[in-house]
Chain A
Amino acid sequence: MSKIRKELQVAALCNGTAIDHIPSNVVFKVVSLLELDKLGNPITIGNNLESKKMQSKGIIKIADKFFEEDVVNKIALVAPNVVLNIIKDYAVVEKKRVSLPQTIKGIVKCNNPKCITNNEPMPTFFKVVDADKIELRCHYCNLKIKKDDIILK
C-alpha cells in the first residue's frame, strides 16, 4: 500500500455514524433520504473516492447522530449495499447493513401521472413486491416500479 493511501481521505469521526460504500451517483440521494440538510450536526460528505470494492464511492460522516433502523433502511432503495459504521470514541462498535422495509410511505414518487397520489396532497404508499430486485407496487394505482425507474420525491 502506498504512503498516500494510508492517509484518511475523510477525517475520522469521534462519535457518530459513517455511511460507507455509497455508489458515487447516489450520494446526494442518500443525503436527501436521510434529510441531512435539516440537521445541525457536523457532517462530512466525501464523493468520488477510491475504493477497493467499487469503482468510485462516497462516504457520509455525521457526528453525534445515530439513526433509527426504519430511517436508515430507506437507503436500501438507492444503495442496498451500503455499510453503516457506528462509531463511539473513534472506534467502530457496530457495522450495520440496510434492508428494504416491506412498505414505503412517502419518499418515492409514483410514475403514473394519472395516479391519485400525483393529483392530491397526500403521501405515496408502496408495497415492496421484490426486495432483492427492488420492485415496488403503488398501493393506490397498482403500478409496478422497477429499481431503475424509482424517482425520489
Chain B
Amino acid sequence: MSNKSLVSITDYSKEDILRILKLTKKFDENPNRRLLEGKVCATLFFEPSTRTRLSFETAVNRLGGRIIGFSDASTTSSTKGETLKDTILMVNNYADLIIMRHHLEGAARYATEVSSVPIINAGDGANQHPTQTMLDIYSIYKTQGKLEDLTITIVGDLKYGRTVHSLIIGMSHFNPTFIFVAPEELRLPDTYKNFCDEKDIKYEEHIDFSSEVINKADILYMTRVQRERFTDLMEYEKVKNVYILNNSMLSESKDNLKILHPLPRVNEINQDVDDSPKAYYFEQAKNGMFTREAVICDALNIYVE
C-alpha cells in the first residue's frame, strides 16, 4: 500500500492535517503553479459526481497536469464485469496518481492495496470523503484564524451525514465544543458520542434549532435532511421545515460566525442568508480546489515553494 494515499480522514494525524492546511494556504495565495508538468492524473468516477470531479480536475489543470479518466462507470468495462482490481491495475500503467469515486464502501481502501500509485478517495459510498473534510477544516481555519477551542454547531442529518462524522474526527485534534442539532430519528450515532467522550470533547445535543444554538457558535455547519432517510414519513413531514436557517435567526449571532454547508443545498438555508457576510458556503467550495491541489502535491511528494 502506498502510504501517501488518502482514503479516510483517520489516515491523517494532527501533524498531517496542519501540513495540508499550510500547503492549502499557499495554493489559496497562488493557485496556478505548474508543479504537475509531465504528470498524468486519472479521475476514475465510477459514480457520477460533477461537483467533486470538476473541483479535482480544475486542481490538476491549475497545477499543469494532464487528466485521463471517466465521469460515469456506464462507459467503462466495469459494465462488462471487469473487477475494480483489473481497472486499477490497468490505469496504474498510465497514470501517476488515481483520484477515484465509487459507489461501493471500502473501494478506495481496496484500491490502495492493489495500486502502485497513490490513490485519493473522492468518496466511497456512504463511507469516506476526506478531501471534503480537509476543505471544511481549511474553511474553518481561514475564517477563524485558528482551529483550537472553537464552538461548532452542526445541524441536520447527523445520523447518516458522512461529512459530519468525518468533521468530528478531523476537528477532534483541536479541542472543539460541538453542539449537535438533529431530529430524533437522525441523531448522532453513539459511536461518535463515545468517540467524543474518549477524547474529552465537550458536546451538547439539541432537537430544537433555535437562535440559542446559533448564538454560541463560531461555526454553523448545516446539512440536508433528506426525505429518503426517514422510516416514518410522518416524522419527516413534521421536521422537514424545522431545520431551515433564515437570515433573521442570525441577528444575535457572533460577529465571527461563519455558515458552512457541504452542498448541494436544497432548502435548508434560505436564499436570504446568501447575502449575509456570515454565509461562507460558496467560498467553502472554492477552498475545495486549493485543498485538492495541496492533497495531490502531498500524495506525490511534490515540494511547494
Q: Which residues of A contact B (CB under 8 A)?
A: 112, 114-117, 119-122, 138-144
Contact check, A141 vs B127: say whether CB atoms are below 8 A apart. yes
Q: Which residues of A contact B110 (CB under 8 A)?
A: 116-117, 120, 122, 140
Contact check, A112 vs B105: say whether CB atoms are below 8 A apart. yes
User: What is the distance, in angstroms, from A120's C-beta to the closest C-beta of chain B?
Assistant: 6
Contact check, A116 vs B103: say whether CB atoms are below 8 A apart. no
Number of A-B contacts (CB under 8 A): 47
- Residue B187 is within 8 A (CB to CB) of chain A in the complex: no
- Bound complex: CA A121 to CA B110 (Å): 11
Q: List 7 A-B contacts (CB under 8 A).
A: A115-B106, A116-B84, A116-B104, A139-B106, A140-B105, A140-B106, A142-B106
Contact check, B191 vs A117: say whether CB atoms are below 8 A apart. no
Given A141-B125, A142-B127, A144-B191: A116 in contact with B85 (beta carbons within 8 A)? no
Contact check, A120 vs B83: say whether CB atoms are below 8 A apart. yes
- Bound complex: CA A115 to CA B127 (Å): 10
Contact of A116 among B107, B126, B191 (CB under 8 A): B107
Query: Besides the contacts A114-B126, A120-B110, what 11 more A-B pairs have beta carbons closer than 8 Å?
Result: A112-B105, A114-B103, A114-B105, A115-B104, A116-B104, A116-B106, A141-B105, A141-B106, A141-B124, A141-B125, A141-B127
Contact check, B105 vs A142: say whether CB atoms are below 8 A apart. yes
- Residue B216 is within 8 A (CB to CB) of chain A in the complex: no
Contact check, A121 vs B83: say whether CB atoms are below 8 A apart. yes
Q: Which residues of B contact A119 (CB under 8 A)?
A: 104
Q: Which residues of B contact A144 (CB under 8 A)?
A: 191
- Bound complex: CA A119 to CA B82 (Å): 11
Contact check, A116 vs B105: say whether CB atoms are below 8 A apart. yes
Q: Which residues of B contact A (CB under 8 A)?
A: 83-85, 102-107, 109-110, 124-128, 191
Contact check, A114 vs B104: say whether CB atoms are below 8 A apart. yes
Q: Which residues of B contact A114 (CB under 8 A)?
A: 103-105, 125-126
Contact check, A138 vs B106: say whether CB atoms are below 8 A apart. yes
Given A112-B105, A115-B104, A140-B105: A120 in contact with B125 (beta carbons within 8 A)? no
- Bound complex: CA A121 to CA B114 (Å): 13
- Bound complex: CA A115 to CA B125 (Å): 9
- Bound complex: CA A139 to CA B107 (Å): 11
**Looking at A117, A120, A121, A143, which has the most chain B CB atoms within 10 Å of its CB?**
A120
Looking across the interface, which residue of chain A has its beta carbon closest to that of B104? A116
Q: Which residues of A contact B84 (CB under 8 A)?
A: 116, 120
User: What is the distance, in angstroms, from B185's C-beta to the closest C-beta of chain A?
Assistant: 20
Q: Which residues of B contact A141 (CB under 8 A)?
A: 105-106, 124-125, 127
User: What is the distance, in angstroms, from B124's C-beta to the closest C-beta of chain A?
Assistant: 8
Query: 9 tightest A-B contacts by CB?
Result: A140-B106, A141-B105, A116-B106, A141-B106, A116-B104, A116-B107, A116-B110, A140-B109, A114-B105
